Amino acid sequence: MDLPEPLHDFLLVFLGSCLVLGSLGVVFFTNTILSAFSLGLVLVCISLFYILSNSHFVAAAQLLIYVGAINVLILFAVMFMNGSEYHQDFHLFTVGGGITLMVCTSIFVSLITTIPDTSWYGLIWTTRPNQIIEQDLISTSQQIGVHLSTDFFLPFELISIILLAALIGAIVVARQ
C-alpha cells in the first residue's frame, strides 16, 4: 500500500488494537449475540489488514465469505440458544483453563520472538521478478484468475468436488 509511513503504522496499530478488543469481546461477553457480533468485528478487521497489505481480492473474499456467510451462520446458530441457562456455574480458574493459559502463553512468546527475526522482504522479493513485465498490463485479480486456470487448473476442479462433498455432508447432518 503506498501510504505515507506513519499513517501506515498508525492504521496497523489501530486495527490491531481493534482486533484484540474484538476477540476479548468474543470471549468475555455473557450475551451470546454480542459475542457473535464481536466475531464479525474481528473478521472485518482482518479484512482491513489484507487491504493494508495490498491484497484487495483476498480482502473482498474475506468480507464476502467470512463476514457475509460464516458469521451469519454463527449468528443463526446462536439464535437457537436460550442464553440464560449457560452462565450459572461459572468457575473463574479451572485446571483446563490453567493448561490452556500455559499453552497459549508459550505460543505467544514463540511468535513474538520469531516474527521480528525472519526476513520478510526476502520472501516478497522472490515473487516480484515474475510479475514485473506484466505488472501494468494485468491487474492482480486478473493474475489470480490466470494462475488459477492455467497453473492450478486441477486444484480448481478438485475444489468444486470438495465443495460438493461439503454441501452433501452438511445437508445430511443438518436434516437430523
Partner 1 sequence: MFLLYDYDIFWAFLIISSLIPILAFIISGILAPISKGPEKLSSYESGIEPMGDAWLQFRIRYYMFALVFVVFDVETVFLYPWAIGFDILGISVFIEALIFVLILIIGSVYAWRKGALEWS
What are the Cα distances from residue 94, in Å, to 97, 100, 107?
5, 10, 20
Q: Scanning the structure block, which residue is given the C-alpha cell 461477553?
A: 29
User: CB of 119: closest distance to partner 1 in angstroms?
Assistant: 28
Q: Which helix (H) or strand (E) holds 159?
A: helix 153-174
Residue 47's CB is within 10 A of a number of other CB atoms, namely 19
C-alpha separations of 52 from 45, 46, 57, 118 in Å: 11, 10, 12, 20
Least distance in angstroms from the C-beta of 93 to partner 1: 35
Q: Which of 33, 101, 107, 146 binds partner 1 (CB under 8 A)?
A: 146
| Contact call for residue 12 and partner 1 (CB under 8 A) | no
CB 71 within 8 A of CB 44: no
**Which one among 30, 105, 130, 141 touches partner 1, defined by CB under 8 A?**
141
Q: Which stretch binds partner 1 (CB under 8 A): 13-21, 36-44, 97-105, 160-168?
A: 160-168
Binding site for partner 1 (CB under 8 A): 1, 3, 7, 56-57, 61, 64-65, 68-70, 72-73, 76-77, 79-80, 138-139, 141-146, 148-150, 153, 156-157, 159-161, 163-164, 166-168, 170-171, 174-175
